[in-house]
């Protein structure tokens, strides 16, 4: 066993997606032969997609192995008491060449009951956005389950959704139950709970190369949707140089913006 931990680097886990593009290659220099890279999982403890160290004496060790060996030395005593040998965060880069499906994620209680998983509270930091690119976050008016289902059945769901035009640096906090989608032309960083549970409610009627529509999860989603019309999803934060500026702080993670310009 190596007694001293050091700054660890992990092999990105790249995901081919029907809506993915080339920005993760051209802007972030991800090396892959995949035709449409939609996601790069930078650190993950999702089952079957666990990150592996690529530097130093621990090269080849998985994140799960590190936790079992170093326990609280790796993630801190407080976190280890809560999460044990399960790394609590999943961090991704996402490139949407086309619109992602309209979706939401269940809370901890539902995710545990239905999938033996954490819920999926997440945040987005927009790294690059094409002209007029947008995100869908929440509803644009007060909606009841009955109203929602009518628009869903009529395939006019987008009429009651909130579209936000975005630019580099925009930050969003996506709580569980909030309907959302990443729009075409957006590349962002996503920090979230360790979970891959997504309830897809509409996918623009598109099909894959075999002519098959993607699965929808409306039977599961209806009980998981937060129908409250709240506008607390866009995060304002300071960008003072050479100091840590808090962006999002929640029970699952805290993120800070740090713009280093000083050489001292």
Alpha helices in the chain (DSSP H): 23-26, 63-70, 72-75, 77-83, 108-115, 145-153, 218-221
* Residue 92 exposure: Cα atoms within 13 Å on the Cβ side: 27
**Do 224 and 108 touch, CB atoms closer than 8 A?**
no
Q: Which of 17, 12, 59, 63 is nearest to 36 (CA)?
A: 17
Q: How far apart are CA 167 and CA 132, in angstroms?
A: 9
Q: Count other Cβ atoms within 10 Å, centred on residue 173.
A: 19
**Do 111 and 195 touch, CB atoms closer than 8 A?**
yes
- The SS3 call for residue 220 is helix
**Do 138 and 229 touch, CB atoms closer than 8 A?**
yes
**Do 93 and 127 touch, CB atoms closer than 8 A?**
yes
- The SS3 call for residue 221 is helix
Contact residues for 81 (Cβ-Cβ < 8 A; gap 6+)? 72
Q: How far apart are CA 228 and CA 212, in angstroms?
A: 34
As a dihedral over the C-alpha atoms of residue 70, residue 74, residue 77, residue 82, rounded to 10 degrees, the angle is -90
Q: Which residues are catalytic?
A: 200
């Amino acid at each position: 066993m190596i007694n001293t931990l050091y700054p660890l680097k992990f092999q990105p886990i790249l995901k081919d997606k029907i809506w993915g593009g080339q920005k993760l290659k051209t802007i972030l220099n991800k090396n892959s032969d995949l035709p449409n890279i939609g996601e790069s999982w930078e650190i993950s403890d999702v089952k079957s997609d666990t990150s592996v160290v690529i530097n130093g004496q621990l090269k080849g060790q998985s994140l799960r192995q590190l936790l079992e060996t170093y326990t609280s030395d790796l993630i801190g005593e407080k976190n280890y008491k809560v999460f044990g040998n399960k790394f609590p965060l999943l961090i991704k880069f996402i490139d949407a060449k086309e619109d992602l499906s309209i979706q939401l994620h269940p809370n901890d209680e539902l995710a545990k009951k239905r999938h033996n998983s954490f819920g999926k509270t997440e945040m987005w930091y927009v790294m690059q956005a094409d002209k007029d690119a947008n995100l869908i976050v929440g509803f644009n008016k007060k909606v009841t389950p009955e109203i929602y289902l009518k628009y869903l059945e009529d395939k006019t769901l987008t009429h009651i959704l909130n579209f936000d035009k975005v630019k580099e640096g925009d930050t969003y906090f996506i709580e569980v139950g909030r309907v959302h989608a990443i729009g075409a032309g957006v590349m962002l960083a996503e920090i979230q709970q360790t979970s891959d549970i997504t309830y897809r409610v509409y996918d623009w009627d598109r099909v894959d190369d075999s002519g098959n529509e993607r699965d929808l999860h409306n039977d599961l989603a209806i009980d998981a949707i937060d129908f409250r019309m709240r506008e607390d999803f866009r995060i304002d934060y300071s960008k003072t140089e050479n100091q840590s500026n808090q962006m999002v702080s929640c029970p699952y993670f805290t993120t800070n913006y740090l713009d280093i310009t000083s050489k001292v």
